[in-house]
Structure 1
């Protein structure tokens, strides 16, 4: 830990002002970005940043950014930096995604929308642990542990993952993927764009990144919108365990939807019966897995489906097939690199580097047993052990501490029923930010409220803030719409 203190001291000595940067040179975007953002016409550029802010002479990497320029220069007030979440979500095409989902023209006129692949992602010095399609690791949300032995078994899997990540880190970049460094990158981007202040719209993990930026550079933060909030500037084991709380809070809406359609799907006439069907299918698959997966796979598929109400019908269809003994047509994966290798790698690097995780397997065994009882739908997955327990690098610095000192310029937007970021996370962030923030609680289900969700009240409040700077005088609630 002595080394951590030395590095932290060096980071503390980094000047508050970003180094002067030349204006970026806009040009064509990579073909995959053009296709993903269509029909929105994006420009792209690179911004060089230090690999290691504690030792800027050690080298630089290029962060690739995109721009959807304002079409109304007379109304343009600056840039709006965007982050889709993750950590590990590619963001170059995100301006086009939000426009396609209906981002109001007034917001598009007010800002140049700036997307980016943050460090380690996509086109910005991508990193790889070498995940394959046929490997034992199936994602960054741990598998459901049916019993104590399953936790011990998973510990061996994730230990191998951590070792594999270290082995594949040929350039030594993994240890420098942190929320604090990404926030520093945001400020370099602001400087390179010639802007005095940063406006920011971030979703999910983007809320943690935005909170970190607003805390590290409060005087350079302008209008900040954080949607679907974790409770801090980092993810830790408690944040992961709240996935189970989110499942318990969101599942009733799905169960009610399914119960109203019992004559179509036959999964239960009441929400209680639908819940019982969930356990019936899961427990049967625990004992008798099918080619498409086991009970853990089924639980994970249901968890993922509750991110958005648009997945309710296909999920009910899947349940119906499984309940009647059918086997969903799942094409076998071809051996080779996993298409999720980069995103999984960045998620692990940032999550494991930001905070010191418990290393004793007994800690996770106790947590799984406790959460299996308290949150039976998904607790034994969310509390399970991750590669962070065996990560090869200790945190280089303490997590970014949220400050309540600064302007009242942070709008928190949060659905009340949200699988990975339950409402409790927004409440925690609101408490830490104090008078700097206002919280808009939305009576809706799903991950993402503004633009991604459909609540008119949340849209209007957020648009008004981004365009006119009108932040609520107090916390607000939006009724279902």
Structure 2
């Protein structure tokens, strides 16, 4: 998830949600658009991927033939852009671009760019992944060219790497101030080393520059206006693009909006607050199935049980013979912070920890807390670049807290959110490059902010704050699942309707919480 910054807020927004299709028929000859920006696409053969590489992207095995069929339709290329837009004739870098042309060319409405999450996420294959997500959202490709791209610093675009060094292990049990200070100092030193490794390049990794690159993409593919579908950090990118290039922006749908400020500290506070609030829903759900989980017959009893479990494991951490990590209070907090699709698993794991006596980890605890990250697949595209992630966040971070402020904020989170808060981090401490403010503001044009009422990664209040900063219509998804709007057919139909007609209602139910049958199945496996 990404943070944002409020910019100019004068005047009321003029938000148009009923534009006809003619208003967005914006294709122009590519040569004419490219000549104005100096950008052209160097089209070339697309990469080839093994079945294993395709599966590593989250593609179900049964969809691999469809993926390959869409790859045959996909166009792949690169454009050249300035590294530093203040010096447009200076060093150039390469931005990787893809296009999945509209199926119904006679009724084509324009180009729709996928703005990926992160920062650091790849959007190169997002056009294909969107068409495979479900049959409803795939309809976007009927009348729109779907545009994917890798932001600067990611995957097939020009990038660099400063591999981070993990901070020292604090050990099990409650975090001490001395351990936190060691973590802070190690992180600050690592940030400083990374920032100095290639400052000329890393200093140009900002959301504003990615937005400028995206506008070069728009010109190179021959579009007067670019429509945008943004996810998570991509919502911040969409807001910045719209602020920089209002006359070149068409319809914009931003799912799980970022907040309108660039503060690592404020972002972490918002996530912690939202997580504790969502646990109240989880506690009520677990209480309904007390006969299955035995954690309490009321939400208050469940909360008391989980809080006691956290304190007990902090006082007496356990080391299981088949886990590579000790289980302490932070492990309990992680389970309590899981979102609704995972409540049956989380409930089983919490019940297992309450009753654990074996030297081996209980099965669900091992499944959740002992999961190893997937091994890299040779030839698979890079889906997340953590150097770009760190540089973009830290170049824009307004807080860069000192240790005293970071420690105080951590202590306050533990008091405010005693069940689920556990994370201490140094953020962008030690980052040596200057802060670069990016401001967003109100413009005319069509905009939808899709906020999820119980989202943990993008707190719902951020949607309302972003609306106050840039305008637009709020579309509320009544779930806690980050960026689920295009995954749930009911919501996806609204997204398609919006990009087709410019109109949309006020929201959808989103991904449903587990049913009693889910809970019964979970109980049968305990």
TM-score in same-fold range (> 0.5)? yes
Q: CA 1:477–1:67 in 2, change beyond 3 Å: closer, same or farther? A: closer
1:468 aligned to which of 498, 501, 516: 501
1:443 aligned to which of 478, 482, 485: 478
Q: Does 1:403 align with 2:441?
A: yes
State the match for 2:213 in structure 1. 185
State the match for 2:466 in structure 1. 429
CA contact (8 A) 1:204 1:230 kept: yes
Higher relative contact order (CA 8 A, sep 6+): 2
1:391 aligned to which of 390, 414, 431: 431
State the match for 1:8 in structure 2. none
- Deviation track 1:47-90 (CA, whole Å, cap 9, x = no partner) reads 22222222234322211122222221112211111123111222
State the match for 1:324 in structure 2. 355
CA contact (8 A) 1:130 1:164 kept: no
> What CA distance in whole angstroms lies between the structure 1 residues aligned with 2:399 and 2:384?
22
> What CA distance in whole angstroms lies between the structure 2 residues aligned with 1:211 and 1:86?
15
- Deviation track 1:279-322 (CA, whole Å, cap 9, x = no partner) reads 3343333341534344365257437742xx33223333333333
2:418 aligned to which of 371, 376, 392: 376
State the match for 1:159 in structure 2. 188
> What CA distance in whole angstroms lies between the structure 2 residues aligned with 1:420 and 1:388?
19
> What CA distance in whole angstroms lies between the structure 2 residues aligned with 1:331 and 1:254?
22
Q: Does 1:64 align with 2:64?
A: no
Q: CA 1:100–1:254 in 2, change beyond 3 Å: closer, same or farther? A: farther
> What CA distance in whole angstroms lies between the structure 1 residues aligned with 2:142 and 2:235?
24
Between 1:294-303 and 1:315-324, the stretch displaced more is 294-303
Q: Does 1:115 align with 2:148?
A: yes
> What CA distance in whole angstroms lies between the structure 2 residues aligned with 1:283 and 1:380?
12
Q: Does 1:310 align with 2:341?
A: yes
CA contact (8 A) 1:34 1:93 kept: no
State the match for 1:416 in structure 2. 453
**What is the RMSD computed on CA atoms of the aligned residues?**
3.2
> What CA distance in whole angstroms lies between the structure 2 residues aligned with 1:92 and 1:295?
40
CA contact (8 A) 2:336 2:419 kept: no
3-state DSSP of counterpart to 1:74: helix
Q: CA 1:334–1:238 in 2, change beyond 3 Å: closer, same or farther? A: closer
- Deviation track 1:338-393 (CA, whole Å, cap 9, x = no partner) reads x9996332221111101332342221122222222222234452xx4424121011
- Deviation track 1:164-223 (CA, whole Å, cap 9, x = no partner) reads 4235x3474222111111111110111111111111011111111100000010110100
3-state DSSP of counterpart to 1:112: strand
Q: Which runs of 5+ in 2 are unaligned?
A: 1-34, 513-526
State the match for 2:139 in structure 1. 106
Q: Does 1:31 align with 2:49?
A: yes
Shift in Å, 1:234: 4.0
Between 1:24-33 and 1:79-88, the stretch displaced more is 24-33
Q: CA 1:170–1:398 in 2, change beyond 3 Å: closer, same or farther? A: closer
| Higher gyration radius (CA) | 2
Q: Which runs of 5+ in 1 are unaligned?
A: 1-16
State the match for 2:126 in structure 1. 94
What is the number of residues matched between the two proteins? 443
Shift in Å, 1:439: 0.6
3-state DSSP of counterpart to 2:258: coil
Between 1:17-26 and 1:327-336, the stretch displaced more is 327-336
CA contact (8 A) 2:137 2:495 kept: no
Shift in Å, 1:244: 0.8
3-state DSSP of counterpart to 2:39: coil
Between 1:51-60 and 1:236-245, the stretch displaced more is 51-60
Q: CA 1:341–1:203 in 2, change beyond 3 Å: closer, same or farther? A: closer
CA contact (8 A) 2:42 2:77 kept: yes
Q: CA 1:302–1:154 in 2, change beyond 3 Å: closer, same or farther? A: same
CA contact (8 A) 1:410 1:438 kept: yes
